[in-house]
Amino acid sequence: MKRQIVTGLMAILVLASGLSLPGCSVFSTREPEEPLSDTGSFIQPDTPEQVIDNVQSAIAELNTLNYRRSLSEEMTFQPTATAQARESVFLSWSRSQEEQYFSALVAAASLNQGHSLQLNDQTLTLLSENEFVLDATYVLSVNHRRTEVPTRVQGRLQWMLRQGEDGLWALQEWTDQELGSEPSWSDLKAEFTK
């Protein structure tokens, strides 16, 4: 019994001495930490339109995390016919290659500003209760530092937006089409995966 009392008193003394150390008060307030600044403008994608907004914001902010969060795990990409005939990289394109391309693009453009994705002539069509297709022309501007690669590309895209089992929407299938002889998004992707 004496041993338990001595052990208890020792524990109280150790605790009391720890609380009385200068600058180490358990009950004092501390300065709040700054919020995470690299989260960007991501909106929980409860609707197909929010996925579109998130992709546009991720490009404007060069935010690789939010770009990745907008893509389905099974995301597929169909390049323009010209790019597919010219570039073997598109034979096995998956979300992994999409992330690789965007990370390389961000690294080449990270110190510059004025990046944007403009979507024009948009049509969002309901295919089923959990699938929409966006059809639009696009102008993508990314001010990177690789002089041999265009900073502005354009074309027409189709995005299949699908709702997952968790209720959130993501970009599932992507088809790129060229407009005339202008460089397309497919061309940009090919250059930044080399």
- Asked if the model's pLDDT at residue 144 lies above 50, the reply is yes
pLDDT bracket for residue 9 (50, 70, 90): low
Per-residue confidence (pLDDT) for residue 110, from 0 to 100: 84
Instruction: For 102-123, write each residue's pLDDT tens digit.
Output: 999 999 998 889 999 999 999 9
- Asked if the model's pLDDT at residue 145 lies above 60, the reply is yes
- Residue ranges per domain, the chain? 48-191
Contact 72, 171 (CB under 8 A): yes
Report the percent of the chain where pLDDT is more than 90: 77
Give the span between the Cα atoms of 67 and 101, in whole angstroms.
Answer: 11
User: What is the signed CA dihedral for 62, 67, 68, 74, rounded to 10 degrees?
Assistant: -140
Mean pLDDT of all residues belonging to the chain: 87
Per-residue confidence (pLDDT) for residue 182, from 0 to 100: 94
Record the pTM: 0.80
Per-residue confidence (pLDDT) for residue 27, from 0 to 100: 53
Instruction: For 16-75, write each residue's pLDDT tens digit.
Output: 555 454 554 545 555 654 444 456 899 999 999 999 999 999 999 999 999 999 999 999
Query: 48-191, which class in CATH?
Result: alpha beta
- Asked if the model's pLDDT at residue 84 lies above 60, the reply is yes
Per-residue confidence (pLDDT) for residue 111, from 0 to 100: 86
